A and B are shown apart, each in its own frame.
Chain A
C-alpha cells in the first residue's frame, strides 16, 4: 500500500499562491516513542571524592536547607551535576568546541575551551589550591561563613584561579545547582520534587483547563514528573 502523506495543489481564490491540501498520515509505528533517558541510580560516577566534597559543600551554601524545607543536598543536586557532567552536557557533545578563540563578550555565553566536565575538574582543583593556601584547608573543610565569603569573592571575579575563569565557574555552578533543584526528577535532581513543591509547580501535566479560571486558589493536584509520581504505584 502507498505510504506517507499525499499533497495536492489546488488554486485558492483571490490569491496567486496556491493552497495545499495535505491528506494521509505522518509516518507512525506502533510502540514508537522517544523515551527520556533516566538518570542512573547509585553513587558518583564522574566526581572523585575530593570533587564530590567540594560540590556538596558549595551547593549546600547556594541553596541551603531552611525553615521552608530541604535545600540542594536534600534535592540530590550533587548527584544531578555528576550525571550531567558524565553525559552529553559534560562532554559538550552538541556544542561547537573549536576555534577561533576571540575575546568573548558577556552576551556570548559559555566561552571556554574546556568541556564543562574539564572545566569543573580544573576549577575545583584550583579552588582547593587557593583555599589551602589561604586557610590551610580545602573548601569543603571550611566553616559555613568562610565558605560563603569564598564564594562571594569567587562570584565577584576578584580571585585569580590557576588556568580557569573563577567568575565563569561560579556562574556555571550556580546555574547547574538551580537546574538540579528544579529539574524533572528523571534527570537525577529535584528528589521527591521538593523544588516543585516549594514553588507550587505542577510538573509535567497536560490538562490545565479546569483550573484556568480558579484564581487565587491553590492548585489541587500534586506535582508529577515525566516518570510519574509515587501514587501511580500501589
Chain B
C-alpha cells in the first residue's frame, strides 16, 4: 500500500519536475502489460488463419496503443484512436470481410521459393536495425507533456491552438483529401449496369433451357437449411427422406469451409410408446419426443 502510494507520489513528482528519465510504477505496469498484449496481438494478426481473427487482434493492438497515448499525455489522440481506428476503420474492415466473404482459405504455396523465410529474415534484420538506431541515438531526457498541455488549459485546447494556427493550411488540405477519398470510394464501388436487369421470367426460362441439356441442373429452389429442435442455425443441413444429409441446403461458403453441422439422429420411437398415444394424433410414428410433448 505504502509502496504503491510512494510510486504514485514519485510519478507525480516526475510529471511535475519536467524532464523524465524513468516513468512511475503505474505507467511501467501499463507499459509491460500493454506491450505484451500488443506484440501478441500483432503476431496473431500475422499468423491467424481467418481474416476475422486478424481483424480482432488488430483491434486489440489499437486499443493498447490508445492507452499508451493517454498515458503519454496525448489524451485527445487516445480517444480519437479508439473512436476512429477501432470504431470506424476496423468496422469498415469487418464490413468488407462480410461483403466479399471468406470462401477459400489462403493458399500456402510459395510463388517465390523461400520467400517466407527470406521475409522473416528481412523483418528481423529491419527490426534489429531500428532498435539499434534508437539505442544508439542520443535521446536525452523526456521533457513531459505537462507544460505544453497546460499552455492553453488542457490537451485539446493546446492542440486546437496549434491545429488552427500553425497547421491550418495542412488541416484544410486534409479536408480535400477526405472529400477526394470519399468520391474515389464511390466511383470505385459503383457498378454501371451495362445490360438490362434480367427478370425472374427470363431467369426461369434460361434455367429450364439448361435443364433440357443437362439433367443435373436444379430447377427448383434450393432446399432450406434444416431447422430441428437440436439446432436453430443455418449451418444445420436438411435431411432427405431417406435420412441422409442434403448438402445443397447449406450455404456454399459454409460448405467450402467444412463448417456444416452434423446431426445426431433422432431417437426411433419404440413400438409400445407409439401405441400409448391417444390415437387422435396422426403423427404417431414421426418421433417419440414430439409425441410425448403433445401427450403431456
- Do A and B pair up? The answer is no
Question: A-side interface residues toward B, CB under 8 Å?
Answer: none
Question: B-side interface residues toward A, CB under 8 Å?
Answer: none
